[in-house]
Amino acid sequence: MSAKPEHFLDRITELDDRTRYEFSSSGKVYVQGSRTDIQVPMREIRQSDTLTEKGNESNPAIRVYDTSGLYSDPSAHVDLRTGLPAIRAPWIDERDDTELLTGVSSEFGRQRQNDVQTAHLRFEHLHKPRRAKAGANVTQLHYARQGIITPEMEFIAIRENMSIAQMQQQQLTGKGDVTDLGFQHPGQSFGAAIPKEITPEFVRDEVARGRAIIPMNINHPEIEPMIIGRNFLTKVNANIGNSAVTSSIEEEVEKLAWSARWGADTVMDLSTGKNIHETREWIIRNSMLPIGTVPIYQALEKVGGVAEDLTWEIFRDTLIEQAEQGVDYFTIHAGVLLRYVPMTAKRVTGIVSRGGSIMAKWCLSHHKESFLYTHFEDICEIMKAYDVSFSLGDGLRPGSIADANDEAQFAELETLGELTKIAWKHDVQCMIEGPGHVPMHMIKENMDKQLEVCAEAPFYTLGPLTTDIAPGYDHITSGIGAAMIGWFGCAMLCYVTPKEHLGLPDKQDVKEGLMAYKIAAHAADLAKGHPGAQLRDNALSKARFEFRWEDQFNLGLDPDTARAYHDETLPKESGKVAHFCSMCGPKFCSMKISQEVRDFAAAQEAADGVGIVDVDAGMEQMAEEYNKTGRQLYHKV
């Protein structure tokens, strides 16, 4: 949206060119499942050949998990005003356990539909809302417990299994030595149960146990299904949303697509500013990612910002309003109990969760437990009619190193464990939010305690930030903690951007935050020993070693930045085929020299059968040979 037409609907037709473009040397592939309408998107990165003296050797295309949706598919027609295609619609229809309503059920939703002042901002092609038929439970957890493998589960199995499938296709064993592109170190998974191959039945089983969730509202048929659980790839969430101070609808839709491009697995719309309802509609209709919200933010806006005036009825209406728009998971701070609030009074940073502090204020003011807690089973009834998942909020998470792992935090976690079991009793999917600010040596205690008290329900943490002293760099302070807790068993990492504590993230901040968190999540997958996780590292390192610069860029998380950095010092095209890099120049290049070491050892081995480990016998001869062959530093390109 570089041009800025006067009318909103003209402005929001298309995404910024900087958001919507194909990844270089990449193609979108769709892997078909057991039926033609299961089309699982992946990104395939083409590689160039390795140049050897014997001729060119081809390198396999590498498939990577792809969250970018149609926005990176040049063949797709995308019009933000009509929204994305409803790929799940047939699957939902077939189950025949839902019904289309004639209109929205929430009072507030009706008001907004009739509001004249915001008419010009309204998404034009509103869906009719869908709800479970009376008495039906339409959650993926409910189906899983009945032994049903849904198309969504099969979609997820194919998606999660991507790198194993391609290793099989390329006949990589994953067991050989490091010359096998599939080589991988055994991981340390701290009791996770990660199988060698993800099957649809495994997906069903994990969901049935509550150890994974598939956040996917029946009113969000545009979703490309994904799963959150410790035995799957570690996921990343990006927060977007406007505030009273800044941002517009088109900026938020832009940030959504931008987040997806850079690897967000889910997005939370944390808007607290103007036109929350309309902003959310635009976001959901244009999102193939699950969308999470914190409904209490909007509820508070409805009572003019006075926390004490919040009621169950207003909150309930908000849940239904948002569920019928298609929100996939709700953060609900039901664990903030009255007796826990005073535990925070002597903290360095009190209560730093917005939702937590709103509820604490309500509890203090009314001197009773919050309606989130007392109406928890009523909330479950709503959730299961739309398949909205719980993200049980950690309202008392620590906001500073000093407050980490304190009584208030762990007391709330215990309550979240109890609530998890109530949600499960209703077959409602549930994950648990976690901290916050925690020094490295206290992170594992968080994960272990969560696994224990929440019976392995997925953990979803913000960071944690491992120090307080770097405002402006909290994507890094927290990326460290995120990588560690992901390794220990956390299922999804909520990103932190460089603007944390300072301001609202813009597009560049969103990308910086996502890069730090994609790194953390992948580092966690490697450390857990997630099958096939090392394939991309191996391919990129091989490309790097062979000076296939473009392949190195393209296999990286952010080809644009890698290429730009390279070009700053060696801008010419010739730099990209150079058998050296700008750090060392041609003389000193260590990779070059060690390639020679290898070539020589291999040539020697081939020539006379002296194995490279048979040092004593072969070395003198090798030295002579090496000197005789001209001691060349350079290979011909």
Where in 330-349 is the site for a copy of itself (CB under 8 A)?
338-339, 341-349
Q: Is 302 in the site for a copy of itself (CB under 8 A)?
A: no
Q: Are 332 and 388 in contact (CB under 8 A)?
A: no
Annotated ligand binding at 301? The verdict is: no
Q: Is 386 in the site for a copy of itself (CB under 8 A)?
A: no
Q: Is 119 in the site for a copy of itself (CB under 8 A)?
A: no
| Shortest reach from residue 505's CB to a copy of itself, in Å | 9
Q: Is 600 in the site for a copy of itself (CB under 8 A)?
A: yes
Q: Is 61 in the site for a copy of itself (CB under 8 A)?
A: no
Annotated ligand binding at 479? The verdict is: no
From residue 568, give the alpha-carbon distance in Å to each of 557, 564, 582: 19, 6, 10
From residue 629, give the alpha-carbon distance in Å to each of 596, 598, 616, 634: 12, 15, 21, 12
Q: Is 150 in the site for a copy of itself (CB under 8 A)?
A: no
**The one among 47, 279, 293, 357 contacting a copy of itself by CB under 8 A:** 357
**The one among 179, 574, 606, 628 contacting a copy of itself by CB under 8 A:** 179
**How far is residue 51's CA from residue 546's CA, in Å, rounded to a whole number?**
8
Closer Cβ to a copy of itself, 81 or 563, answer by number: 563
**How far is residue 136's CA from residue 548's CA, in Å, rounded to a whole number?**
56
Annotated ligand binding at 584? The verdict is: yes
Interface with a copy of itself in residues 390-409 (CB under 8 A): 399-404, 406
Interface with a copy of itself in residues 264-293 (CB under 8 A): 272-273
| Shortest reach from residue 357's CB to a copy of itself, in Å | 4
| Shortest reach from residue 57's CB to a copy of itself, in Å | 15
- Residue 431: beta bridge partners? 391
Q: Are 225 and 156 in contact (CB under 8 A)?
A: yes
| Shortest reach from residue 421's CB to a copy of itself, in Å | 25
**How far is residue 100's CA from residue 507's CA, in Å, rounded to a whole number?**
37
| Shortest reach from residue 512's CB to a copy of itself, in Å | 9
**How far is residue 510's CA from residue 507's CA, in Å, rounded to a whole number?**
5
**How far is residue 157's CA from residue 368's CA, in Å, rounded to a whole number?**
45
Interface region with a copy of itself, contact rule CB under 8 A, candidates 284-292, 378-386, 454-462, 620-628: 620-628
Q: Is 75 in the site for a copy of itself (CB under 8 A)?
A: no
Interface region with a copy of itself, contact rule CB under 8 A, candidates 149-157, 194-202, 251-259, 517-525: 517-525
Closer Cβ to a copy of itself, 568 or 573, answer by number: 568
| Shortest reach from residue 149's CB to a copy of itself, in Å | 32
Closer Cβ to a copy of itself, 112 or 542, answer by number: 542
Annotated ligand binding at 347? The verdict is: no
**How far is residue 136's CA from residue 114's CA, in Å, rounded to a whole number?**
31
Q: Is 493 in the site for a copy of itself (CB under 8 A)?
A: no
Q: Is 295 in the site for a copy of itself (CB under 8 A)?
A: no
**How far is residue 64's CA from residue 559's CA, in Å, rounded to a whole number?**
14
**How far is residue 308's CA from residue 303's CA, in Å, rounded to a whole number?**
9
Q: Are 450 and 415 in contact (CB under 8 A)?
A: no
Please choose, from the candidates 271, 310, 311, the residue with its C-alpha nearest in 3D space to the C-alpha of residue 293.
Answer: 271
| Shortest reach from residue 582's CB to a copy of itself, in Å | 5
Closer Cβ to a copy of itself, 131 or 499, answer by number: 499
From residue 193, give the alpha-carbon distance in Å to each of 229, 340, 451: 11, 34, 13
Cis peptide before 151 (omega within 30 of 0): no
| DSSP conformational letter for 334 | T
Q: x/- binding map, residues 11-30, to a copy of itself, per CB under 8 A?
A: --------------------
Q: Is 477 in the site for a copy of itself (CB under 8 A)?
A: yes
**The one among 609, 620, 636, 637 contacting a copy of itself by CB under 8 A:** 620
Q: Is 581 in the site for a copy of itself (CB under 8 A)?
A: yes
Amino acid at 85: P
Q: Which residue has the tokens 């060392």?
A: 584
**How far is residue 473's CA from residue 494's CA, in Å, rounded to a whole number?**
16
**The one among 267, 358, 430, 453 contacting a copy of itself by CB under 8 A:** 358
**The one among 501, 507, 576, 579 contacting a copy of itself by CB under 8 A:** 501
Tokens encoding 255 = 């940030």
**Beta strand pairing call for 291-293 and 212-213:** unpaired
From residue 369, give the alpha-carbon distance in Å to each of 124, 361, 535, 549: 41, 11, 50, 60
Annotated ligand binding at 463? The verdict is: no
Interface with a copy of itself in residues 561-580 (CB under 8 A): 561-562, 564-566, 568-570
Q: Which letter, b or e, does each residue of 167-184 get, where b requires 16 or more Cβ atoms within 10 Å of its Cβ?
A: beeeebebeeeeebbbbb
Interface with a copy of itself in residues 403-462 (CB under 8 A): 403-404, 406, 437, 439-442
Interface region with a copy of itself, contact rule CB under 8 A, candidates 19-27, 43-51, 361-369, 374-382: 361-369
- Residues 6 or more apart whose Cβ sits within 8 Å of residue 236: 263, 264, 265, 492, 493, 494, 495, 514, 517, 518, 520, 521
Closer Cβ to a copy of itself, 36 or 179, answer by number: 179
Tell me the site size for a copy of itself, rule CB under 8 A.
Answer: 148
Q: Is 221 in the site for a copy of itself (CB under 8 A)?
A: no
Interface with a copy of itself in residues 235-264 (CB under 8 A): 243-246
- Chain centre distance of CA 71: 17
Interface region with a copy of itself, contact rule CB under 8 A, candidates 6-14, 23-31, 370-378, 527-535: 527-535
Q: Are 139 and 429 in contact (CB under 8 A)?
A: yes
Binding residues are 239, 268, 297, 333, 353-355, 394-397, 433, 437, 460, 501, 581, 584, 589
Binding residues for substrate are 239, 268, 297, 333, 353-355, 394-397, 433, 460
Binding residues for Zn(2+) are 437, 501
